[in-house]
Chains A and B, each alone.
Chain A
């Protein structure tokens, strides 16, 4: 269908289309959430849409084209996730706007969050192990 020598520009095109597909999933997610007033964020619905698309692609060969072919959307998605921590920096810097609140309630907020995160970590890991053991599953490693 497409000349093999055009490989490099094909990759670039697939990359662009893949990013476009990710944005499109988010856009459809936002549109559905807003118009139906669903109590969930648009990107989460977008995640579900992309997951369904990827699973449907394996079942129906018709869908395996453009960004859904040759790991296009997979590569783009991993690229986005590679520096996930960076994406939190702008919102984190927002703490400079909250200096008044942190001056008055900072210690309480930090303690509440720290205690809650420890309790959550323990509750999650212990439940996981408990159920895993009850099912007599062998460790994956």
Chain B
């Protein structure tokens, strides 16, 4: 190895250690920039970590499979993190019960809108059938959306990408959009962010307001439940 520095690269670039380290360090960097810009919506840490790591893979000619062998340790935590959403739900149960009626109605309205709008728009745009199916669960958290896509025999990895793009766009747009509507009820604003933009929206909501974050987390977990049932139904009714 000493006589050929390239062989060290060959070894490291195939090892999970390198790509796990890259994922954590790049995210730590983009998160620091996001903090330094006082959490400006456009400095979204996921968005920037995504393209920086992606560009790094393309430049070094590393396959996504090799990258994922390392990054899967982070990705795996999406499942336990979904289970962990029970904790904020439990801790805020009094507050949740107090707003239960507006929440449940908004939950139904929101999740139906999320699924129906994306399916109709995607069909209208003439996207191929398997793409439409993979976009349908885009408003729920990645682990859940991938499960839904799998059960529909769609493309789970495209579903995950759609989820993340949706989350990033939702997180960027939610604050200016809500300010424009003049709604200052942070329960409602947070609930909408979590419902439309899952965990990335929830992370954004916590940056803006504590109550918004709590309601966002609740919306995200409730929507995961509802959407799991809704997508198969909507697909049967709406997709050609």
Q: How far is the CB of B235 from chain A (nearest CB, A)?
A: 11
Q: Number of A residues contacting the other chain (C-beta, 8 Å)? A: 73
Contact B139 A120 (CB under 8 A): yes
Question: If the complex has contacts A51-B86, A55-B90, A74-B91, are A127 and B110 also in contact, measured as CB distance less than 8 A?
Answer: yes
Interface string of B131-142 (1 = CB under 8 A from A): 100010011001
Which of A25, A90, A97, A114 is the one whose CB lies under 8 Å from B83? A25
Question: If the complex has contacts A74-B91, A127-B109, are A43 and B72 also in contact, measured as CB distance less than 8 A?
Answer: no
Give Cα A121–Cα B67 distance, bound, in whole angstroms. 34
Contact B228 A92 (CB under 8 A): no
Contact B81 A81 (CB under 8 A): yes
Contacting residues, chain B, for A39 (C-beta < 8 A): 151, 228-229, 232
Interface string of B57-82 (1 = CB under 8 A from A): 11000001001100110110111111
Query: CB within 8 Å of B: which of A83-141?
Result: 84-98, 101, 105, 108-129, 131-132, 135, 137, 139-141
Contacting residues, chain A, for B193 (C-beta < 8 A): 121
Q: How far is the CB of A30 from chain B (nearest CB, A)?
A: 8
Q: How far is the CB of A73 from chain B (nearest CB, A)?
A: 7
Residue ID in chain A nearest B131 by CB atoms: A105
Contact A125 B79 (CB under 8 A): no
A-B contact count (CB 8 A): 324
Contact A125 B191 (CB under 8 A): yes
Which of A88, A91, A124 is the one whose CB lies under 8 Å from B109? A124
Interface string of B144-161 (1 = CB under 8 A from A): 101110010000011011
Q: Number of B residues contacting the other chain (C-beta, 8 Å)? A: 112
Asked if B143 CB lies within 8 Å of chain A CBs, one says yes
Give Cα A111–Cα B135 distance, bound, in whole angstroms. 12
Contact B113 A120 (CB under 8 A): yes
Contact B99 A117 (CB under 8 A): no
Q: How far is the CB of A20 from chain B (nearest CB, A)?
A: 10
Contact A116 B157 (CB under 8 A): no
Contact B192 A125 (CB under 8 A): yes
Give Cα A48–Cα B155 distance, bound, in whole angstroms. 27
Question: Which residues of B approach A to under 8 Å, CB–CB?
Answer: 23-24, 26-27, 31, 45-46, 49-50, 53-54, 57-58, 64, 67-68, 71-72, 74-75, 77-91, 93, 95, 98-99, 101-103, 105-107, 109-110, 113-114, 117-118, 121-122, 125-128, 131, 135, 138-139, 142-144, 146-148, 151, 157-158, 160-170, 173-174, 177-178, 181, 183-189, 191-193, 195-197, 199-200, 202-203, 211, 217, 219, 221, 224-225, 228-229, 232
Q: List 9 A-B contacts (CB under 8 A).
A: A25-B83, A46-B83, A89-B53, A90-B72, A91-B75, A120-B110, A120-B195, A124-B109, A124-B113
